[in-house]
Structure formats: structure tokens, C-alpha cells
Structure 1
Amino acid sequence: MKKDIDFSPVKNVHVVIAKNDEAWKVFIINRNQAKLENVMVTSRGYGETKTEKQQTTVLRHMIPYIESGMYALIEPIDESVFHLNNEYWVSYFIDGQVYDKKFIFVPDSIIEENLIFIEELEMKGIFHD
């Protein structure tokens, strides 16, 4: 049962929304000393305007592993959803232990003014801890 699973806190794993010359993209970065295995990411957007609720389709991504100090592309992201909460629910294993965390980019936080240089990607992006 879920209550019997030890969900240790996530450390040194980050989700980044970065922009290059072509487009915005979402990455996961592993800054752990260990490899992440069986990385599962679900992504969705949700929110509401003054008149209606909005949500995107839930997408699921499987990444077999991410080595220590490396990153992986999760998905491209379109600017038309930046006004929504953009949620990335990340689950993975390190040495048989499961880790699980939601990373939520709040509405209108994905803007040029919030970009910082992300060393691993060698590009600017929005860094989520």
C-alpha cells in the first residue's frame, strides 16, 4: 500500500524551462552523485481565466535513466500555456528507493526577466528547485 512506501525527500533534481533560439523546452537535471533510474514525468497545465477553467492534456514521459551530472529533455512547451500552472510530477529510483516530487511553474512565471544561465544546458532558463 502507498502508506508503506518510504518517499524520501527529493534532492539535487531540478526541472528547468529553457529557451534557445528555436523554442522553449522543459528539461530535468540530475545533480546527484547517483544515476536516476526509471524516471517517469507527467506534465499538465491547469488554471482559469475570468470566465472559464482551462487545462491541457496530461502527458506522460518515460526516461530510462539520467546519469549523475546530466540532463534529459522532457518536452517542448508552447508560450500559449504560460498563463497556466505548468506541473511536472517527477518519480524516479536511486538504488531501489523511490523518489517523488511535483514541480509547479505558477502562471506568468515563465518570462524573460526570470531567466538565469543554466550551466548544464549552456542556455538561459527558469530553474525550479
Structure 2
Amino acid sequence: MKKDINIPEIKDVFMAVVKEYNDEFQCEDWNIYLVNDKEEDLEMAIIVSKGYDEDKMIETSVMRKTINKLPAKSFAKVELIQPDLFKLTNFFNTTFFIGNTMYDKKYVFEKNTIKEGALRVIKQLNKEGIIAK
């Protein structure tokens, strides 16, 4: 029965963490973004995130975010991530629709991979950040 379920591969949609200046609080923040580099809009995007370290048996609270519509070739800020969480593996389960087809993918930032030295320009955001695996 499982073999009959078609789960389409996701291309041109990704999660990124970006370090950017916060004018209001005059400090550097790390923010998570959902990027839609497709030619189609994403509808009813649901992102569920959590951080964990299995070795130390540490878990964060589960966070949920809904984006009703993410237009083609655009992005949306999902959440602020505190630097204390970089020592954990952080995952973002993302589910969305394009037309009548549902897509689902788990994006992962492995522990200790979010750091200054890993920042690269993300052209879709025109900012420096790190793309999740």
C-alpha cells in the first residue's frame, strides 16, 4: 500500500538561516526563512520546528507556523532562532500545496553548523546565510 503513495520530490523550495541586523533592537539576529524559488505559488504552508540533541537528551518546544500563500520567487520569515540553539540539531518539517498536490520535506540544520564561518550569499534573499540540508 505504501508503494502506491506518490510523494513528489521538492525542488526550488528551501529553508535558510540568515544573520541580519535588527533596526528596532539595534543588534544582530538570526532568522529562519522559507524560500520559494519556483514559478508556482505555495499554498497552505505549515512549518513545524524543533531542536534536539539525542546524546544529551535535550529537546526544545515544538514551534508551528502557517503561511497561507507564498508567491512564486519569494520568501517569508518563519521565526527568530536564538544562538543557544545552534548547539542542537534543528529541523523544520514543511508541508505545502501546489495546486492539488501536497509536498512534504524535512529540512535539517545539524548541530554546530549554524556559525559565522558557514555564511554564504543566498541570491534569492540577497543576504548571507546557510541553507538547510
TM-score, with structure 2 as normaliser: 0.89
Cα distance, 1:3 vs. partner?
7.2
User: Identity over the aligned pairs, expressed in percent?
Assistant: 32
**8 Å CA contact retained: 1:26, 1:77:** yes
**Alpha-carbon distance in 2 for matches of 1:117, 1:55:** 30
Whose relative contact order is higher, 1 or 2, with alpha carbons under 8 Å and at least 6 apart? Answer: 1
Residue identity matched to 1:20: E
Q: Which residue of 2 aligns with 1:40?
A: 46
Cα gap change, 1:59 to 1:78, in 2 (>3 Å) = same
Tell me the CA shift for residue 128 of structure 1.
2.4
Structure 2: 5+ residue runs without aligned partners? 22-27
- SS for the counterpart of 1:23 is strand
Q: Would the aligned equivalents of 1:18 and 1:126 in 2 still touch at CA under 8 Å?
A: yes
Query: Which residue in the other structure is 2:29 paired with?
Result: 23
Alignment coverage as a number of residue pairs: 127
Stretches of 4+ aligned residues off by more than 4 angstroms: 1-5
CA drift at 1:123 = 1.4
Tell me the residue number matched to 1:76.
80
Deviations, residues 34-60 of structure 1 (Å, cap 9, x unaligned): 0000000000000045xx310000011
* Paired residue type of 2:75: Y
Alpha carbons 1:48, 1:84 under 8 Å: kept: no
Tell me, which stretches of 5 or more residues in structure 1 are unaligned? none
| Secondary structure class of the residue paired with 1:20 | strand
Greater shift, 5-14 or 19-28, is seen at: 5-14
Do 2:15 and 2:131's aligned partners in 1 also have CA atoms closer than 8 Å? yes
In angstroms, what is the RMSD of aligned CA positions?
A: 1.7
**Which whole-Å CA distance do the structure 2 matches of 1:59 and 1:3 have between them?**
31
Q: Give distance in 2, aligned partners of 1:4 and 1:90.
A: 22
Matched, 1:105 2:74: no
Amino acid at match of 1:106: E
Q: For 2:34 and 2:117, how far apart are their aligned partners in 1?
A: 21
